Structure formats: C-alpha cells, structure tokens
Structure 1
Amino acid sequence: MASVPGPLAAVHIDLQWGVLAAAFVVAVLLVAPLGRLFVARGLTDPRSGDAALPERKRGQTPQPLSGGALLAAAFVAAVLLGATGTVSLLAIAFVFAAFTVGLVDDLVPEGLGPRTKLLAQSLAAAPLAVLWWDAGPFELAGPLGSLAALAAALVALNVINTWDHADGLVATFLACAATFAGAPILGGASLGLLVGQLRPPASGRPFLGDAGAHLVGALVLLWPAVWPLLLLPGLDLVRVLVARRRAGRPAWEGDRRHLGQALARRGVPSAWIAVGQVLVLWAIWALFG
C-alpha cells in the first residue's frame, strides 16, 4: 500500500486499522456458518468415513476445510475494494491457480503425488513467471526473472504447505505478513480465522487445508518486503526433511516431526509453543524486514 504524505497520513493509518477491525469482525461471524456448510457437504479433513487414512491423521476429529475458502473470499474482497495496493491480473491469476492446486489436493482422497503436485505447482506459477519476465523483484527480468519466479513459487508454496500442520501459526503468519504489507482486509480475516481456530475440534474448527496453505504461500510472494518471514517455516522444513531421510522415510511423506510437534512431545505447553514461534516471526521482521 502506497504511503500517504502530509496531514492525511494519520487518517490513512486510522482507516487501515478500521478496515482490519471490520474484516476481523466479519470473519469471526462467518467462521461458524461456513464451517457447518462445509461439514454438511462432507468437505472435511480428514474425510469422514475414509477407509485408509494416513497414520498422522488417524483418530483426528474431521475439521471443515473452510479456512482456505474464507481467506480466498477475503482476497477477492481486498482486490475488489483496492485494499491490496496495485495487484496485476497476472498476480491474481497466480494466487487463484495456487489455491486451485491446493483445493484439488484436498479433494483427491489420497492427495496428489509428489511429482504430480510439483508439476501442478509449476503450472500454477506460469502467470508469475510471465509477470517477472517483464519486471521481477531485485531488478530481475527476462528468462532469469521467469526462472526465479518458478523457483520462488515452488519454495513458498511448499514451505507454507508443510507448515499447515499448525493452522494457527499459518493464520498468524498471514496476519503478520498482510499487516506489514498494508493489506488490512487479509490481516483482519486471518485474525478472525485464528479466533475460530481456538474453538474445540468437535465444534467444527476451521481448517486451512492445502488450498489455504497454497493461497498463503502465493500471497506472500506478492509482497517481497515480508519474504524474510519465510525463514522460520523454511528452517523447520529443512530440519524435518533431514530427520525423515535419516529415519529412512521419503522426504515428502507427512509425519509429526515438525518443531511444534517435537516440543509438544517433550511436554512444552501448546500455548508456549505458539507464542514462541509468533515472537520469532516478529523478531525476524525486526531484523530483516
């Protein structure tokens, strides 16, 4: 969001906070009915009655995949109201292509295979590659800009997608990123989603799923100023991949080896884990943002 000079600056800042607060209230009001709608349609994770569930999902209460839909609606509202700054049609196409890849991954009973998923993510990055061919960040352009777009998309989408074991963290991540980037509708919606995730699992707590995680990963790429925030989930992903390889497991096979899960097994209260990782996000922003 462009800055506003002169005496209007304070009014502009107040307006931003007002928009964020309004988006927060709307999101909080929509969480419950949207969750009930998704449950009624059988759009949950894990799926109710699935015969073959991955080991990491056995015994979990099915949660409605409404978190990603809520954030997608917030993005549409932000674009229509001009509350995301200047966003090109190619950038919008990239965000929704990434969201679609995640949605398909959610709806396929066993999920997309690793190679199929990487191919689909690469195709989703095509609009971003075209955009960065003309003018990418850090003065990249031409073939180098397009290759950088493809690489950045694969990194961002998978870093956030592997972090979606903790939806509250991803929602907080987007709330921080959107606030720093001047996108108050997305920031408020993320905080509203976070409040919804404090509900007990049996009450239909909203779940981001791969669709929501892909949406967040794509949105972050539109805001180069917040890229340093990817450091925390990125380091967690590297640690998990190394641990899986040492255990003789496929690198992309989901498990419960993430940092938050490892700390929980050691008896660290979940609230401390969440607050600690949020503080790390803010520290990264203070140092590099």
Structure 2
Amino acid sequence: MARLKGLGRGLDALFSGNDVGGDGVADKLQDVEITSVKPGKYQPRTNMDQSALEKLAESIKSQGIMQPILVRATGVDSYEIIAGERRWRAAQLAGLTVVPAIIREVADETALAISLIENIQRENLNPLEEAMGIQRLIDEFGMTHQTAADALGSSRSGVSNLLRLLNLSGAVQELMMQGKIDMGHGRALLVLTPAEQIAMANRIVIQKLSVRETEKLIQQRNKSPVSKSRKIDRDLLALEESVSERLGTQITIKSGKNGKGNVVIHYSSLDQLEDILNKL
C-alpha cells in the first residue's frame, strides 16, 4: 500500500517558494502552451459551475493568472494537471494561449495526494466532493481520520463529520451535489432511515427549509412512538463512526430483526483489506 511522507506540513509547503519538488527534483516555473496541458486524472471535483468559470475568466482577463497551475510532464511538451484545473479552463475561456505552470516530477501516488489536498483546501469543493476526496486519501494511502485531518490542516472531528455524509442515501447525496441541500441538512438527515432521508430532503428543497427548521422537524419525529428505533439508528451511526475511524475505512452497520444484523467493511484493494484485518 502506498504511504505518504511529509504531507502533514500542509499544502502551504507545496507553494511556499521552495523550488524543490517532493522527489528532490528542482521545480520549473515557465509558461506552457495551453493546448499542451490536459486535465488531471485525480481531480476530485465532479462538477464545475460554468458561471463561476466565466467569472474567473473575466478576472483572468483583467488581472492575469495570479497562481500558477501545477503540472507534471507526460511526454515532450505534454503535461498533466496536478492542481489548478479551474484556472486552466478559465484561461481558455479568457482566450489565453499560454499559462504559467510549475512543472514538478512526482509519482502517481504523490500526484493524487497533492491534487486532492490542493482542491480540498483551495477550490471550494462541495462538502460531498470533499468527503469523497478525503475517503480516497484514507483508502489509497492508509490514512486515519487524524492523519488526513493533519494533511488538510483540519480537525479530526471535522474530517469525521464530512465522512459521515457518505452514509446518506444516494438520492440525498445527489441533491447535495446539486447544491439543493447543504452539509447541515445532510448531518441532520443522518439519523433517519434512507426512505425517510429522501422524503425529508425533498421537503427541504420544496419548502426551502433552513437547517434549524429541519433539525426541529426531525426532533419532533423522534418524539413519536417509534423513537426507540430512531435512537438505535443514532447509536449505530455513532458506532459506525467510531469503528470507521479505528480501522481507517468506511464501515456500514445494518440492523435486522431480533437484534441481528450485518457489518459491511469497505475496502479498495487487497493491501487495504490486509491492513484492516491486521487491526481487528
């Protein structure tokens, strides 16, 4: 399993003026042909808002590109973006033919980590995109919630709360991706069953409910005669979070009848599975 070294310094170290890349090779800052650059394969953002890109393009027309993009060479005069895809796309809209770029020689695993961390810290990701990016750091580099938090300059609890959003039903996650509900709504919905989550999320969108209004409605539902089962749901979510953090991967606990149920351990490779089994 790939392991990262030095990420705890945070992203600032990557752009602090240090002219040596993570592999000990001097960085190169130069203008590169915009057509010689292609999007990176480690971009965590799933959607790019066109109006935001157009606004950034207008800024680039008047101010230029204030922060160089970070790329690595993939051939002669051919580059792959590690960080800064939004700036590259906006530069095309602005009619630029060249872009300032820092050229760095990095391995695949380092490129992934830098891309995820740069985008999470700098690019105003949707909370769910951020959670997915953090989960990739955990899955592909064996990070714990704490080491991921250190790499991102965040808190362990902040990382854990983001990762819990991945337990929302698929339909609710899609609404969050579209910006129709926010992280506060998502956290409130976690205590509900998947079917209840969808129903409440649709109500949030239709009635334009605030997070506080949503929390109040859910609290009222939890005072109903079936509140005992809802308490169990909350307890299971807390247990899922605790075990997930301990094992460094997503855990799903599904309760059935008569106290029976299933525990699902998510893993992305045999190396990660072996690492998880060693922790059990």
The alignment's TM-score, normalised by the length of structure 1, stands at 0.29
The structure in which a higher percent of residues are strand is 2
TM-score, with length taken from structure 2: 0.30
